[in-house]
Amino acid sequence: MAVITGSRTTPPPRTRRGPALRARQRSRRRSERAVVNAVLLLLALCFLAPLLWLLLASVNGTAGLRITAPDPWTLGNFREVLTTDITFLPMLNGLILCGGATALCVVASVLAAYPLSRYESRFKRPFLLTILFATGLPITAVMVPVYGMFVQVNLIDTMYGTILFLGTSSLPFAIWLTKNFMDGVPLVLEEAAWTDGASGGAAADVARSDRRDDLHLHHDVGKLLRPVLPAALPRPTARVGQHLHLLRLTRNGAVRPARRLLHALLDARDHALCGDVPPDRRQFGARWSTQGLTKG
């Protein structure tokens, strides 16, 4: 930087005061960096404050709504909520829902992305445009019609119905991402595998191209999952947000996803709202939140 400044000839005063200028620039840069660091730390503190409360309140025997040092320090809150009914069963249900939806989403998107990435077709462009368009639609808006539809086709209160909906709602983005990723996988790799596999017999053109899919999938499955999984899986933000849909899609006790936790959380909230805050409730909320945090 400074070298460039020195070598420039146009502004004569600069060249004359070269070293002094450089020193000044250096010190200015240092103070600038200090300011940047300070501002950044301040911003980070703003972001940290709510999180800090969560961490501290969850190990505090007498947690209030403000950040205080744990007094007494305890894991009792965790012990209290780590029961089958409060945590494990809802977690299991949540796991089945998320796992099912993710598996569905990954399989469908990988299958769809391969031909979309490798073959030309006149349907390809419109299809991709539709997919991209769908990623932008506010899914919240279909909450009501999905409920109506599920009632009509009797999918309401079923695990698989919910899985199907959850999986599909993240499908457009997953397809889009996977397709772009596959575009980046060099064809050479694929061809090598394909020659090995294809040398066995003289299969028909179609059969071979089919087999090529398998080989490719086999070969790259690890690589593939890396970008697809984040798309399909936890953005837990998206997922748990959708548990709010589940409030609607599943209503009886038989199917208990993490929404029970959600209810408990809202419960804790309402108690707090009334000013009547049983400490266990509050810490329960905090505790569950920590769990969500670690899950994420």
Q: Which is nearer to another protein, 83 or 121 (CB)?
A: 121
Q: How far apart are CA 219 and CA 224, in angstroms?
A: 9
Work out which of 8, 24, 226, 251 binds another protein, going by CB under 8 A. 8
Q: Which is nearer to another protein, 255 or 291 (CB)?
A: 291
- Is the sign of the CA dihedral 284, 289, 293, 296 positive or negative? positive
109 lies in the binding site for another protein (CB under 8 A): yes
Q: Write out the binding residues for another protein, residues 60-89 only, by CB under 8 A.
A: 64-67
For residue 145, whether the previous peptide bond is cis, meaning omega lies within 30 degrees of 0, is no
Binding mask 13-52 for another protein (x = CB under 8 A): -------------------xx--xx-xxx-xx-xxxxxx-
Q: How far is the CB of 206 from another protein (least distance, A)?
A: 5
Q: Write out the binding residues for another protein, residues 198-227 only, by CB under 8 A.
A: 198-199, 205-206, 209-210, 213
Of residues 134, 145, 169, the one with CA closest to residue 248: 145
Q: How far apart are CA 36 and CA 39, in angstroms?
A: 5
60: which strand partners? Answer: 73
99 lies in the binding site for another protein (CB under 8 A): no
Q: Which stretch binds another protein (CB under 8 A): 72-80, 83-91, 117-125, 220-228?
A: 117-125
Q: Which is nearer to another protein, 72 or 184 (CB)?
A: 184
Of residues 74, 95, 252, 223, the one with CA closest to residue 158: 252
Q: How far is the CB of 249 from another protein (least distance, A)?
A: 11
Work out which of 59, 81, 116, 233 binds another protein, going by CB under 8 A. 116
DSSP per-residue codes, 205-232? HHHHHHHHHHHHHHHHHHHHHHHHHHHH
143 lies in the binding site for another protein (CB under 8 A): yes
Residues in CB range of 225: below 8 A, 6 or more apart? 106
Residue with token string 């930087």: 1
127 lies in the binding site for another protein (CB under 8 A): yes
- Rg for the chain (alpha carbons), in Å? 28
Q: Which is nearer to another protein, 172 or 255 (CB)?
A: 172
Work out which of 23, 95, 137, 221 binds another protein, going by CB under 8 A. 137
Q: Which of helix, strand or coil describes residue 233? A: coil
Q: Which is nearer to another protein, 54 or 92 (CB)?
A: 54
Q: At what angle do helices 159-169 and 89-118 cross, to 10 degrees?
A: 40
Binding mask 239-258 for another protein (x = CB under 8 A): xxx-xx---x----------
